[in-house]
A and B are shown apart, each in its own frame.
Chain A
Amino acid sequence: MKGDQLTTWSINEIFAEILRVWTTQLLTLRTLEHLYMFAVALFFSVLAGVLIGVLTYRNPRFADPIFNGLNIVETIPDVALLVLLLPVFGIGKGPTIVASILYSILPIARNTYTGLSNVPGQYLEIAEAMGLTRREILFEVRFPLSLPLIAGGIRIAVVFTMGVVTLGGLIAAGGLGAALQNGIQLYDMGTILVTGTWVGILAVFLDGAAGAIEHILQVRYGKWS
C-alpha cells in the first residue's frame, strides 16, 4: 500500500498486507539475522560486563576511572558510536555487534559491581566467622545475593542491544532495521507499520522476559533487601 493516508481496512485485508510485507521484505530472514546479532551481542556483553563488575569489585581503585570511561560511551548517541566504528570494522553485522556490546557493558558491569559490594555486612561477617575463604565468600554468598541486581542490569542491556541492532539496518547489517529502512525509502506504509510493529513486539517481549527472570531472582535471592 503506498501513499501516506491510512484508509479503514478489514481484517482480511490486514492479514493480506502483513503477508505481502512479510514475503517481499524477507522478514523471516531478517528476524533471524536480527535475533542472531542480538544473541551474540548480548552474550558477550554479559560476559564482559560481569567480568568487569567482578574486577572493579576486587580492585575498587579502578572503579572510578572505568565507570567514568564507560559513562562517556553511554552519553555518545548509539548512532554516532555505530558510525565511528565503521572505519575500524567496516559495515554490516560486525560493527553493529561491537557497538551493541560496548553500549550494553555499562549497565551490567555497574550493577554487578554494586551488587557484589553491597551485600549486607551481617552475612559477610557470619560467612567469615564460619571459616569461608575470600573466594568462597564471593561465590557462595556475594554472587547469589547479587543475582537480582545483575539481572536488572542485563534487562537494561537487552533494551539497548535491541536498539542498536535495529540501527544496524542502516549500515547494511541486515536484520529488521533493513526492512524498516526499505519501507521508508520506498515510502511503503505497510512495510513500515508491519515491520515496526513486529520489532516492537519482539523488543517488548524480550524486555518482559528479562523482567520476569529478574522478578523470579528477586523473589528467590532478594530477600535481604
Chain B
Amino acid sequence: MVLTAELLQATLEHLVLTYTALIAGILVAIPLIFLSLYSAGLASIIMRFSNLFQAVPSFAVVAVVVPLIGIGFMPAVIAIMLRVLLPIIKNTYIGLFNVDPALIESSKGIGLTDFQILRNVRLPNAYPAIFAGIKFAAILANSIAVLTALIGGGGLGSMIFEGFTNFNTAKVLAGVLPVIGIALFLDFSFSKIERWLTPEYLRK
C-alpha cells in the first residue's frame, strides 16, 4: 500500500532527524560543559539565560529559525538542537556538582588532582543525571521533530499536517501513532539503561 511505503519513509526521516539532532546536541554540549566547569560564574550566567529561553514555546523557536537560518533539514536539526542543549547541559552540570562534599574533601585529602577527581569521583556520580538529561532530550527532540515538518524537515510531522489539511484522518493517525510509539519506547528503554548504569549505592 502506498500509505505503508510513505509511512516507512516518513518514520525513517523522523528518526534520522531526531537522532541527528540529539547527537549534535550532545556534541555541542560537551565543550559547553567543560567551559562551565572552568568558570562557575560564566556557567551560572549561561544557565540563567538558557532557563529563560526554555520558557519560549517550541513552535516559536522552530518558526524563528526560518528567517535566521533557512528551511530544510539542517535548520530543522538546529531548531531541535537549540531546545535540547539546556536539559543536557543542566543535568550534566548538576550531576557533576551534586556530589557529597565529604567525598570530594577526602579525595583531595588522598592526593587526587582536580581532573582526577572529575574523572573518578564526579563522573560516576553523574551518570544517572546525565542519562536522565539525555532521556529528556530524546523525548523532547522527538516531539519537536514533528513541528519541524513545517519548516521542511520532513518526517512524520509532514504526514500529520498533510493529513490534517486534507481531512484525511487515516493519514493523521498514521503519522501520530508512530510518534507516540517512539516517545514511549524512548522513555522505556532509556529508563532501563539508566537503571543499568546507576551504581548500586546511588539507587534509591
Contacts and interface: CB of A to CB of B under 8 A. Distances in A.
Interface string A64-80: 00000000100111111
Given A193-B67, A200-B60, A162 B169 contact: no
B151 to A, nearest CB: 7
B64 interface: yes
B60 A76 contact: no
B176 A184 contact: no
Contacts of A146: none
B29 interface: no
A87 B169 contact: yes
Contacts of B150: 170, 181, 184
Interface in A51-103: 72, 75-80, 83-84, 86-87
Interface string B95-115: 000000000000000000000
Interface in B52-68: 52-61, 63-64, 66-68
Which one of B56, B146, B150, B176 has the greatest number of beta carbons of chain A within 10 Å? B56
Contact of B59 (A6, A87, A167): A167
B147 interface: yes
Interface residues of B, number: 36
Given A75-B183, A75-B187, A76-B180, A180 B63 contact: yes
Interface string B63-91: 11011101100000000000000000000
Interface of A: 4, 6, 72, 75-80, 83-84, 86-87, 159, 162-163, 165-167, 169-171, 177, 180-181, 183-184, 189, 192-193, 195-197, 199-200, 203-204, 206-208
Closest 7 pairs (CB-CB, A-B): A77-B143, A189-B67, A207-B55, A166-B57, A196-B64, A200-B56, A163-B57
Interface of B: 52-61, 63-64, 66-68, 70-71, 139, 142-143, 146-147, 150-151, 157, 160-161, 164, 169, 172, 176, 179-180, 183-184, 187
